[in-house]
Amino acid sequence: MPKAIKPSASLAETLVAWQKVHGRNHLPWQNTRDPYRVWLSEIMLQQTQVSTVLAYYAKFLENFPTVADLAAASQDKVMGLWSGLGYYSRARNLHQCAKEVVSRFGGEFPSTAEDLITLPGIGRSTAAAVASFCFSERVAIMDGNVKRVLTRVWGFADDLSVAKNEKVLWQMAQEALPTRQLQTAMPRYSQAIMDLGATVCLPRKPHCDECPVQTQCKAYALGEPEKFPVKTRKLKRSSEVLWLMLAQNAQGEVWLEKRPASGIWASLYSLPVFDSEEAMQASLTPSLQKASVAGTLKWDVLPAFKHVLTHKDLHCHVVKLKAAKGAPVLSEGAWWSEKEWTSLGLPQPVRHLLSSSL
Ligand code: SF4
């Protein structure tokens, strides 16, 4: 335990003192109170590790130095720069949010969690993060790291998959926030509790011996920190079969179409997607259908693979076909050269297929 921390200090005081010395203080989105930068990092860090986010964060700021620049960008440019980060609904909401900050708030992010939460893609915890980091609002964040730390410290054993229990934890978290010197204590406390969850109070094998709140921690006293948080309901998973058409012409270009605005891989560019091989064949242009019937169309079914999304397993079958000339293969879509498709927003498995199969 750092010497500066009094054993009798509150949880908030202890964490604030610990963060100054032991927390993460040099990430590019720290040491700023610019809500645009904080918000951008918060959205990118949802479901993505810090090490991956670093390069994307820098690339976005280089291309869109302000929220107005992001709002004015084309959707294709935003999706292209996001490509590879996954969870593309975040990018669509990010873009929409920037537009609304400009249209509804004159280009300035609102300063309260209550107003921030009205923007697309900003949930209660993200609103609290921006409000506490940038405006020192006394409001509690509650991401996975924070839930883990707090349920362990308090020995909170109620099932967090039940909404009313999570509400109780959130209320307790709100009451545990700093009560003094909020201007500096609130951003520091929000960062501290995130840092503790990310670096010390790990899901497995937490480093309790290095923990500043060990003496206050019920889960540690019980000798079973890994039992918390309690969450019994698992995500319901589904699965879907997709047939992807990987068509290439004599110039080496590939045929891509833009996905609809909703559904799987929404608004991204993709290899054409079908429910079945028959549906794929039936969608070919008349001349290619004739070639298919005549047996002159080169039609190779590649080995199938599984792509795992949060809620769903995608069982992907791929048909590779060679189109002799630059004529269309389907009524929707276009030919794209390698130089062009590498900068498009593509689903990760499609990008991988194009990189490995051409
Ligand atoms: Fe987590 Fe261990 Fe610290 Fe408790 S003592 S908060 S379980 S790291």
User: Residue 195 maps to which CATH number?
Assistant: 1.10.340.30
CA torsion angle 202 34 127 43 (round to 10) = -60
Same domain, 191 and 253: no
Element (H, E) at 299: strand 298-308
214 Cβ closer than 6 Å to some ligand 1 atom: yes
| Greater model confidence, 219 or 311 | 219
| Lowest mean pLDDT, pick from 42-51, 85-94, 227-236, 344-353 | 227-236
Same domain, 245 and 200: no
Map residue 281 onto helix, strand or coil: helix
Q: How far is the CA of 194 from the centre of ligand 1 (A)?
A: 13
Same domain, 175 and 49: yes
Q: How far is the CA of 212 from the centre of ligand 1 (A)?
A: 8
Residue of 11, 153, 207, 218 to mutate, ligand 1, most atoms within 8 A of C-beta: 153
Residue 168 lies in a domain: yes
Domain count, the chain: 2
Same domain, 274 and 197: no
Across the range 15-33, mean pLDDT stands at 94
**Whether pLDDT at 8 is above 70:** no
Residue 3 lies in a domain: no
**Whether pLDDT at 181 is above 60:** yes
Give 202-248 as a 3 state SS string. Answer: CCCCCCHHHCCCHHHCHHHHHCCHHHCCCCCCCCCCEEEEEEEEEEE
Q: Are strands 298-308 and 273-274 parallel, antiparallel or unpaired?
A: unpaired
Same domain, 22 and 160: yes
Cα 303 from chain centroid (whole Å): 29
Same domain, 209 and 263: no
Q: How far is the CA of 18 from the centre of ligand 1 (A)?
A: 14
Same domain, 288 and 189: no
Residue 201 lies in a domain: yes
Q: How far is it, in rounded angstroms, from Cα 178 to Cα 182? A: 7
- Confidence band, pLDDT 50/70/90 cuts, at residue 255: very high
Residue 52 lies in a domain: yes
Average pLDDT, the chain: 92
Residue 233 lies in a domain: no
Q: Could you list the active site residues? A: 42
117 Cβ closer than 6 Å to some ligand 1 atom: no
Q: Of 227, 255, 290, which closes a domain? A: 227
Specify whether the CB–CB gap between 61 and 39 falls below 8 A: no
Across the range 223-245, mean pLDDT stands at 90
Across the range 161-185, mean pLDDT stands at 95
- Confidence band, pLDDT 50/70/90 cuts, at residue 9: low
Q: Which atom of ligand 1 is nearest to the CA of 210?
A: 8
Q: Which atom of ligand 1 is nearest to the CA of 206?
A: 8
* Amino acid code (one letter) for 92: R
Exposure class string for 264-302: b at 16+ Cβ within 10 A, else e: bbebbbbbbbbeeeeebbebbeeebeebeeeeebebeee
**Whether pLDDT at 321 is above 80:** yes
User: The domain containing residue 265 runs over which residues?
Assistant: 238-357
Same domain, 322 and 184: no
Same domain, 159 and 34: yes
Q: Break the chain down into helix, strand, coil percent, rounded to 5.
A: 45, 15, 40
**Whether pLDDT at 2 is above 80:** no
Element (H, E) at 273: strand 273-274
pLDDT in tens, 267-320: 899 999 999 999 999 999 888 888 888 878 888 999 899 998 878 899 999 999
Q: Of 160, 192, 227, which closes a domain? A: 227
Collect all residues with Cβ–Cβ distance below 8 Å to 335 and sequence separation of at least 6. Answer: 249, 251, 253, 254, 255, 326
pLDDT in tens, 45-104: 998 999 999 999 999 999 999 999 999 999 999 999 998 888 888 999 999 999 999 999
Residue 139 lies in a domain: yes
Q: Of 227, 262, 277, which closes a domain? A: 227
End-to-end CA distance of the chain: 56
Sign of CA dihedral 9, 15, 16, 20: positive
Same domain, 183 and 39: yes
CATH code for the domain of 284: 3.90.79.10
Same domain, 247 and 166: no
* Residue closest by Cα to atom 2 of ligand 1: 208
Same domain, 249 and 191: no
Residue 261 lies in a domain: yes
pLDDT of residue 323: 82
Residue 2 lies in a domain: no
* Residue closest by Cα to atom 7 of ligand 1: 225
Q: How far is it, in rounded angstroms, from Cα 351 to Cα 342? A: 8
**Whether pLDDT at 4 is above 70:** no
